[in-house]
Structure 1
């Protein structure tokens, strides 16, 4: 058997074995198993033919979340893991560059994860979601169907982009649960987010579990969410999404 598959099987079953076969570990439990794993940008292909990357050795901020969600959905069953990963990474579960969720907003909509908001403190920002198609047109890569990417971008652009501004984060904190996903909003009108992670509640304090470009590894931030945002002024707000699992 391929050594990478042996490692994957061991990893999947270790989550369940540690807590008992009848108990599913939480998303946070799964994420913490990756603490210390190195951060690596551009872990997925830059064009077709797209390959399903199932590596557990390094992550960017999105692939960290994708793998946590896939392991949770696979429930420790190795044969279900690849299918689960395709589901959280690709539209229609089809491994193709154009079908990948290049915008985190696209993934959250397709997965039907509800956005957590305080209705009295919602901000709206116009987003045209043209970042990727514009970038790729300048590269002139013939293997990529840019028209299909533009079609997906236009669908996203039709939806109102709602978020919680930095100044209103305190109103959202009581609604946050451990395991909620967070995406950090950019003011760039062509792009939705600059970073993603998982939120962990420790009493009344909310912390960020993420593949950190600054720390070069998966970390649980010692700063609370408010402190983290103050130290990263390029983020103008957040969107919080709650994963739903079929038990």
Structure 2
């Protein structure tokens, strides 16, 4: 761990030194690539008349079109000031969910622009949709759900479909401070710790692992699935979408193990059962604003 931290710190210093001469150029090239992918997805949606579908169907189709895209961790962690990072070329599990949901939301309204997509992504990723340094990003899944539920983007339906309550102190980030370089900033650390205390007061619900199979009929394709974990201080260990195919519910996600976006080979309940440390799921339903 100490060696990994040292290597990461040296890398950060190196990147900072060259950022002024080539950082913006690289970002510009990547944005052009992202714009091209965005246009492809919009064209696909227009050809398929996806804007006439409900948001769950759009998520299923657009999310499925990314199958095979590369998995890349830490895509939001940079040595520069906090800013909106767009990456439709590669994903971790969280950025995959955010990017697909943002795409689905703008596709729902017809022929969107890339700036429309960036606006939706910012609204999903940051508290109140406002970028204000590292702590303004919604780091914990519970925080992400609460904020986006308040903004009208999603609804936590876990309790409604038979979930049971559980209590957990969310403190993984503050307890593992050295794993998060940004938390070397004392103000950022205190802001995160304060939010952890606030989040730990909220009642949480999950569908226990052994109950998922019987609850699958209440889960729709396109619902966001957070896999809850027994790891101390964490609410979930992985996130993706429910994906229905031939009457069976699977899991669409950016997989670290497979190194790419994929649809699980086994049904959702069996996939969750096979994940080390998992104990159930949360089910979050994207809201269709036109309903």
- Same fold per superposition (TM over 0.5): yes
SS in 2 for 1:124: strand
Aligned-pair CA distance for 1:34 = 0.7
> Residues 35 and 114 of structure 2 are in contact (CA less than 8 Å); yes or no, is this contact kept in structure 1?
no
1:23 alignment partner in structure 2: 52
> Residues 226 and 239 of structure 2 are in contact (CA less than 8 Å); yes or no, is this contact kept in structure 1?
yes
Q: For structure 2, list consecutive stretches of 5 or more residues without a partner in the other structure.
A: 1-27
* Mapping of residues 15-54 of structure 1, within 5 Å: 15-20=44-49, 23=52, 26-45=58-77, 49-54=81-86
2:39 alignment partner in structure 1: 10
Residues 191-200 or 38-47, more deviating: 38-47
2:172 aligned residue (118, 131, 137)? 131
Q: Is 1:79 aligned with 2:115?
A: yes
**Normalising by the residue count of structure 1, what TM-score does the alignment of the two structures yield?**
0.90
> Residues 98 and 144 of structure 1 are in contact (CA less than 8 Å); yes or no, is this contact kept in structure 2?
no
**Normalising by the residue count of structure 2, what TM-score does the alignment of the two structures yield?**
0.77
2:134 aligned residue (67, 88, 97)? 97
Label 1:241 to 1:21 Cα distance change in 2 as closer, same or farther (>3 A): closer
Q: Alpha carbon RMSD of aligned pairs, Å?
A: 2.4
* Partner Cα separation in structure 2 for residue 48 and residue 130 of structure 1: 25
* Partner Cα separation in structure 2 for residue 27 and residue 21 of structure 1: 10
Residues 33-42 or 112-121, more deviating: 112-121
> Residues 34 and 88 of structure 2 are in contact (CA less than 8 Å); yes or no, is this contact kept in structure 1?
no
2:207 aligned residue (164, 172, 175)? 164
Aligned-pair CA distance for 1:167 = 1.2
* Partner Cα separation in structure 1 for residue 66 and residue 37 of structure 2: 13
* Partner Cα separation in structure 1 for residue 36 and residue 267 of structure 2: 34
* Partner Cα separation in structure 2 for residue 80 and residue 120 of structure 1: 33
SS in 2 for 1:194: strand
* Mapping of residues 1-247 of structure 1, within 5 Å: 3-4=32-33, 6-20=35-49, 23=52, 26-45=58-77, 49-75=81-107, 76-95=112-131, 96-112=133-149, 113-117=154-158, 121-136=162-177, 141-142=184-185, 145-247=188-290
* Partner Cα separation in structure 1 for residue 257 and residue 174 of structure 2: 27
Aligned-pair CA distance for 1:198 = 0.2
The structure having more radius of gyration, on CA atoms, is 2
Equivalent pairs, count: 247
> Residues 207 and 282 of structure 2 are in contact (CA less than 8 Å); yes or no, is this contact kept in structure 1?
yes
> Residues 34 and 89 of structure 2 are in contact (CA less than 8 Å); yes or no, is this contact kept in structure 1?
no
State the Cα deviation string for residues 58-101 of structure 1 (Å, max 9, x = none): 10001000000111122233221111000111102122311111
Label 1:119 to 1:17 Cα distance change in 2 as closer, same or farther (>3 A): closer
State the Cα deviation string for residues 123-173 of structure 1 (Å, max 9, x = none): 333211111122226866127511211222122111111101111112311
* Partner Cα separation in structure 2 for residue 48 and residue 22 of structure 1: 37
Label 1:201 to 1:214 Cα distance change in 2 as closer, same or farther (>3 A): same
State the Cα deviation string for residues 13-69 of structure 1 (Å, max 9, x = none): 223222238535611111011110011111112566113111111100010000001
* Partner Cα separation in structure 1 for residue 41 and residue 216 of structure 2: 32
Label 1:121 to 1:72 Cα distance change in 2 as closer, same or farther (>3 A): closer
* Partner Cα separation in structure 2 for residue 33 and residue 143 of structure 1: 42
> Residues 12 and 78 of structure 1 are in contact (CA less than 8 Å); yes or no, is this contact kept in structure 2?
no
